[in-house]
Amino acid sequence: MVNPRAQDIPLPEIREMGFEGVITNSYIIWKDSGLRESVLAAGIHRHLGFDGVVMTDSGSFQLYKYGDVEVAPEEIIAFQGEIGSDIGVILDIPTPPDVGRRNAESDLKETIRRAGEATRPGDMLLAGTVQGSTHWDLREEGGKAMGALDFDLHPIGGVVPLMENYRFADLARVILHARRFLPPERPVHLFGCGHPMVFALAVALGCDLFDSAAYALYARDGRYITPGGTFHLETMAEFPCSCPVCSGYTPQELLAADRAERVRQLARHNLHATLEEMKRVKNAMAGGALWELVQERAAAHPALLEGLKAALGFNLEAGDPVSKQSAFFYTGPWSLKRPEVRRHLERLARIEERARALVILPDAGKPYSRHYGTFSNRDYHICVLSPVFGMVPTEIDDIYPLSQHVAPGEPDREQREFMKAASEEYSRGFHRVFVHESLAWLGLGDEVIRDIRGTGKGDELMKLRAMADYQFGQGAGRLLFPEGTRVERARTGKIRRVYLEGEYIFTSRASDGMLVPTMAGARRMLLLPWPGNRVVVSDQEAAGYVREGRSVFAGFVTDCDPQLRPYQEVVVVDGDDNLLATGRNLLSGPEMLRFKRGVAVKTRHGAVNLR
């Protein structure tokens, strides 16, 4: 947020740092007649000296602070268009946390009414703010109503007091309830979120844009921003940063400078710290380590940890990639609620073929089947009891993240409770249960054993089928891998290639253990019940490009498996279920059907190569 009258840091410098957009207040401009005429004549970009994206707020903050503004809702929207704003905001009714339900309902009703009457001036993008205070059903009602209207993005408003008072658990609930019914293709803007310690959590919960004047306000108060919190300048011995400000000053030198210089330099540093954290979040997302960063940031402040716990009370599995480049790091009991753990527990039920006798072994070196020297067969279903993922059948122990996780050696109390509950649940239905002597504390089983000698050799067909069920859905293994399927193993012992009747149909990817189909394997995947693991492209011209091996763009997807998660292996078909390609989807199923731009599936093989 920048003041339209004067800036602590020149906006060309902010642009040069790497910030692509700023937000300013159109009501301040509108109310000052001299400033209004000047900005109308020059345009907001020239007035600010900023050639990036300019978003303008409508005066809702002043309405919240002073109880009234002197401009009509339709008037301020039109004015934002007249001054050349790239993104305008409706004049919503900001409702602070904890207000009575009657007031929150009344404010929300008025905000929705104004939103319904809002008219977009010219090409300006329009933002519809979601309100509802800390009444979760009202946040959902606001999200549903705003999502049904013709907006381009959605700010979440009325949350600054939550952040000022470190109520991050309530902030997480506000975001998730508001986000629930908003269209997934529209960006979500978290109003007033300017402290970098919150960015990772907010992004993990679905926020895309942030704004705040915190960099300047903190600087005026002598406060120095870091990703883990803030320091008062007078308490600092060294600057833990190498930005231009911290490289050019010591804390003592900055304290000795005159106030204007001190505020200016602190504001510059605070912006650098903000941008650095944004880049760190982007890198974490690209490398599949966003939740690791969230956990790291949560460890910096108890209130932020409460926010993480509150967030993980929701099921966030649907939008979480099934495979990541980064290992899963267990940092505390909250990790047991992460999307990857929820997904594993849900997908265990997909595995169809299991022996009648269950063998439960303790956590060991990964992958477990190679550590123990065998995996399940027709007589014994062998599982490892993981302190992080619960029951892990040895047939699937190569699949991410079962072999790609790190945890302390000694389980904590919550892990032991989780292990006990997971093993009790999974053991139901087995004719006999054998438990390793080190797990006798579970109080389970018909017999305590010391080792697994005598369980026999692992059954490769059962292993393949279990992997396919777990990855593609219940029953997939039986359809994809009939009797006669043959496995070729790498020197490490890991499955390398899968053949059927002499035809190479699947490979097991070394990085994550996922089964990846060849075009022959993709042809077999059409045996899966519709619309399982499919992405449909009906446009004939687009289908022709995809058949040649080009990527599938979201705008051409007409149907898909609604259960698709990001980074699954999928087949691309036309409207008649004819195979076009195979590849890896980058979006979830619902996202593919809503997005109009961007790549939906990164194609690996096109059907022109079908042999």
Could you list the active site residues?
57
Which single residue is written with the structure tokens 């070196």?
Answer: 365
Q: Which helix (H) or strand (E) holds 41?
A: helix 33-42
Distance CA 383, CA 422 (A): 12
Q: Using an 8 Å Cβ cutoff, are 386 and 509 in contact? A: no
Q: Six-digit token pair at 9?
A: 């840091």
Could you tell me which residues are beta bridge partners of residue 230?
225
Question: DSSP strand E in 147-289: where?
Answer: 154-156, 188-190, 209-210, 223-226, 229-232
Place of tokens 């599982």: 383
Q: Exposure of 369 by Cβ count < 10 A (0-12 exposed, 13-18 middle, 19+ buried)?
A: buried
What gap in Å lies between CA 396 and CA 534, rounded to an integer? 23
Q: What does the alpha-carbon distance between residue 448 and residue 438 come to, in Å, rounded to a whole number? A: 9
The Cα–Cα gap between 16 and 165 comes to 33
Alpha-carbon distance of 131 to 145, in angstroms, equals 11
Return the structure tokens found at 391: 């029951």
Cβ burial of 408 (10 Å; 0-12, 13-18, 19+) is exposed
Map residue 344 onto helix, strand or coil. Answer: helix
How many residues are there in the chain?
611
Q: State the residue for tokens 């605070």.
A: 270
Which residues lie closer than 8 Å to 236 by C-beta, 6 or more apart? Answer: 224, 251
DSSP element (H, E) containing 558:
strand 557-560
Report how far residue 388's alpha carbon sits from residue 24's, in angstroms, rounded to the nearest whole number. Answer: 46
Contacts of 324 (CB under 8 A, 6+ apart): 287, 288, 289, 400, 401, 567
**DSSP sequence for 425-494:** HHHTT-SEEEEEGGGGGG---SEEES--TTS----HHHHHHHHHHHHH-TTHHHHHS-TT-EEEE-TTSS
In the structure encoding, which two tokens stand for residue 296, read together? 């790291």
Q: String of b and e for 154-178 (b: at least 16 CB within 10 Å)?
A: bbbbbbbbbbeeebbbbbbbbbbbb
Cα 479 to chain centroid, rounded = 33
Q: Are 190 and 155 in contact (CB under 8 A)?
A: yes
- How many other C-beta atoms can be found within 10 angstroms of the C-beta atom of residue 294? 27
